[in-house]
Structure 1
Amino acid sequence: MLVRWESQYLDAVIAFWNEVAVKDGYKEMDEESFHRIFLSSPFFDMENTFIYLEDRQVKGFACGCTGNDLPLGKIAGYVTCIFLSDDIRTDSYYRVMLSAIEQRFRALGKKQAEWLFFNPMMLPWYIPNTPQHEHNNAPGVPTDGPLYEFLLREGYAERATECAMYLNLAGFSVPEDIRAKEEHASQEQYSVALYDPGLHHGVEDMLRGFDNPLWQKEIAECIQAGVPVVVAAHRGKAVGFAGPVIRQPNGRGYFAGIGVHPEHEGHGLGSILFFRLCEAFRQIGTAYMSLYTGSTNPAIRIYEKAGFRTVRQFAVMRRELLER
């Protein structure tokens, strides 16, 4: 029997999560974290959160979310997760859960269903072969599980592959060739350092050059609040950034992104920014870094040179929602 969310199922769903989702690498949940990720989210929808019951036992959990102010939100709904217990993990049961979410999307006027990194309900997961180092979000469908194969069979298109990359920062240092790049850039009057309002200007102009609303908001807020950000500057004017430099309570270095203004590419600034960011994290006692990048993103070479390795891959997927 498929039922919509009611608070009476809270304890049973958390227990189900800690048995089933944890097997797929996701972090355990308790009442506080379940409330934070799901129930207290402004995008939580009781009508789009489903529980599959057999003999009053939770055998499945699925959740989708929508919001017109989300990227693509006016036309798309986001599927957050679908989990099934081992004994019913088949296409027919996956289809029951997925169809319920998609039907809710249709009722809300959405034209497509997305598994996408813009999903505001971020699910933390453990990085394999580490002492429970964790990443704070799963940006799509893990490609190493049965759900991915099911979605392909159902007609979902794989639009991109996101590589989850990891680096233990113990012993990290900036190599000599990066230092040489930095010296060469300085001869062209470029510098890379933590943002200093007495030395740097033009951050807003720089951020506008990236056409990335998330960066424009987050990096500007960090600069205003005094949160450290590594910046590249040309004669004092900001032309690139990496960061912010935030050590999370779990020891992870939080990383929003790295960017160099198009007018200042070709000077090695991207590499310098990233290595100096890693150094800044190590200096404040950060244990590790993890990040996502597209499998075809040239920046993956920078990350690999710094010692990052791909530890898992996630598929960004979409299906057009036909009227039924």
Structure 2
Amino acid sequence: MKEEMENIDDPLKKEDEIVNLDKVEIDEVEEIEIDDDPLKKEDEIVHLDKIEIEEPEVEETKIEEPEIKELEIEALEIEEPEIEIDDNIEITKEPGISIIIEEKPVEILTIEESTTEEYTIEELADENIHAAVELYNKVINHDKLAYKLLSVETFKEYFIDETQYKKYNYIIMSDGKCISFINGIVANETGFITFVAVDPDYRRCGIGREMVNHLEEIERVENITKYEMSFFNPINLDWNIPEYETYDHPNSQGVDVSTPAYIFFKNLFYRDVLCQNTYFKELKDFSYTEDIEEKIKSLNERGIEIGYLNKEQHTGLKELFDNLGNELWREGIMNAIDPVLVILDGNKVCGFTGPLRVQASGRGFFIGIGIHSEYRKLGAGKVLFNALCKGLKDEGATFMTLFTGDNNPARNIYESAKFKIVKSWQVMRKIVL
């Protein structure tokens, strides 16, 4: 059973191209010459046209400065020619002296040409795989993402090696290095986006947006109905539990809301669908609480017990999964090789959890927990989950991780066993129009 089905409590139906920005051409500002300045004839205007001297006495013909200033202003207002001036020119008037034309600061002068102008989006080729891996790991470190660093081989396994679904990989190269990488995959009429990386030195230039737009156009050919980031993506990227580098989880449940990617996709018209929380607990000190002991006793008094599934002896499996309405759980449990814990009412199965498996990292594995609707509110779910934790600890597991929807009542079961949320994800989707 594929690990991507793990812990699904809520089923969720999951050219070479040149990136150009126009160059800005800035015309030089023409100098404007103003002829016939009315002030050039100021002396003549003042002494000949405007002043009449009636008597020879100087005292009676003396012209005071305030009168001269007034005449200067009047001449400026009456005889100033009309001039058409560009919007980028500012006129400063200094009365009695001249008209000075200055260039206004033009903001467009500070705009630099986009660094994406000469770059081409191309398919990832074998000769560029090492460069793509280098960029992937650089972004993980720079952005402090939870995803594990990849070798060339693991990178190929995740993103390149073909499965039943077609994978898409595109890059942008510059001077021999990869400055952007994107991966997507199409499955079940859904175009998934797995990872988008842009070199930190080339961000804020629209590269990431153009990469996503390009991938969407490619995936659209597959007759998909939506684009999505969710736990239904067949590519399951491992990531480390924050502050516990040796502990991991085998897949992401959407977009990490603690990263800039969340707002990035919102601005590309992706919408929130469902918040998923990842829970974590170390198992080294796990034991039943007094409350769980009491619930076990109460169930036993009703004839309800916890045991291991025996498909040949136990009944009610079909009815249980019909009641739960989860075909992935049905498939996972019916095909399970590892032990499965069940709630038994006599010989009838009325709940399940498991299968119990310990992964190489020490993680206790299970795909989910389900209780028949007729047996809920009896504490059976909490008892069954605690039995799972104890069983995995006894098998050698050192920790457990799981995820569930923010509004899923199952979170009450996990939180009652002292599991803590370590990361929140948002399932994001864009409908194909």
Structure 1 residue 85 and structure 2 residue 85: aligned?
no
**Retained in 2: the 8 A contact 1:43–1:120?**
no
1:307 Cα deviation after fit: 1.6
Instruction: Structure 2: give runs of 5+ residues left out of the alignment.
Output: 1-119
Instruction: Structure 1: give runs of 5+ residues left out of the alignment.
Output: 68-72
Q: Deviations over 1:102-161 (max 9, x none)?
A: 101212222310111111100001110113211100111000111110111221110111
Match of 1:156 among 270, 278, 287: 270
Q: Deviations over 1:24-81 (max 9, x none)?
A: 12112123322332222415535x21112222211221111113xxxxx13x211111
Q: Deviations over 1:275-312 (max 9, x none)?
A: 00000111111011011111111111221121211111
Q: Deviations over 1:160-212 (max 9, x none)?
A: 11101110111001111111111111122111122245763332332232211
Q: 1:190 to 1:41 in 2, by over 3 A?
A: farther
**Retained in 2: the 8 A contact 1:43–1:66?**
no
Match of 2:403 among 281, 292, 297: 292
Q: Deviations over 1:229-278 (max 9, x none)?
A: 11111111111111111000111111211100122222211111110000
CA distance in 1, matches of 2:409, 2:373: 15
Structure 1 residue 106 and structure 2 residue 211: aligned?
no
Match of 2:146 among 25, 50, 64: 25
| Structure 2 partner of 1:70 | none
Match of 2:288 among 171, 174, 190: 174
| Structure 1 partner of 2:238 | 124
SS of equivalent residue, structure 1 residue 192: strand
CA distance in 2, matches of 1:192, 1:198: 17
CA distance in 1, matches of 2:305, 2:162: 41
Question: What is the aligned residue count?
Answer: 312
Moved more, 275-284 or 198-207: 198-207
CA distance in 1, matches of 2:174, 2:210: 14
Structure 1 residue 53 and structure 2 residue 173: aligned?
yes
Q: 1:41 to 1:188 in 2, by over 3 A?
A: farther
Q: 1:216 to 1:41 in 2, by over 3 A?
A: farther
Q: Deviations over 1:6-25 (max 9, x none)?
A: 22222222222222135312
CA distance in 2, matches of 1:244, 1:149: 37
| Structure 1 partner of 2:124 | 5
What TM-score comes out, normalization by structure 2 length?
Answer: 0.69
Letter in 2 for 1:113: Y
Q: 1:41 to 1:242 in 2, by over 3 A?
A: farther
Structure 1 residue 35 and structure 2 residue 156: aligned?
yes
Match of 2:420 among 298, 309, 317: 309
| Structure 2 partner of 1:202 | 316
CA distance in 1, matches of 2:394, 2:133: 38
| Structure whose CA Rg is larger | 2
Q: Deviations over 1:200-225 (max 9, x none)?
A: 33323322322112111111111xx3
Structure 1 residue 14 and structure 2 residue 133: aligned?
yes
Letter in 2 for 1:202: G
Amino-acid identity (%): 30
Q: 1:45 to 1:240 in 2, by over 3 A?
A: same
| Structure 1 partner of 2:186 | 66
CA distance in 2, matches of 1:235, 1:91: 66
**Retained in 1: the 8 A contact 2:159–2:169?**
no
| Structure 1 partner of 2:360 | 249
Structure 1 residue 186 and structure 2 residue 300: aligned?
yes
CA distance in 2, matches of 1:285, 1:130: 18
CA RMSD of aligned residues (A): 1.7
**Retained in 1: the 8 A contact 2:350–2:372?**
yes
Letter in 1 for 2:172: Y
CA distance in 1, matches of 2:269, 2:245: 37
Moved more, 255-264 or 26-35: 26-35
Q: 1:43 to 1:17 in 2, by over 3 A?
A: farther
Deviating beyond 6 angstroms after TM superposition, the runs of 4 or more aligned structure 1 residues are: none
Q: 1:198 to 1:213 in 2, by over 3 A?
A: closer
Letter in 2 for 1:29: L
CA distance in 1, matches of 2:398, 2:157: 25
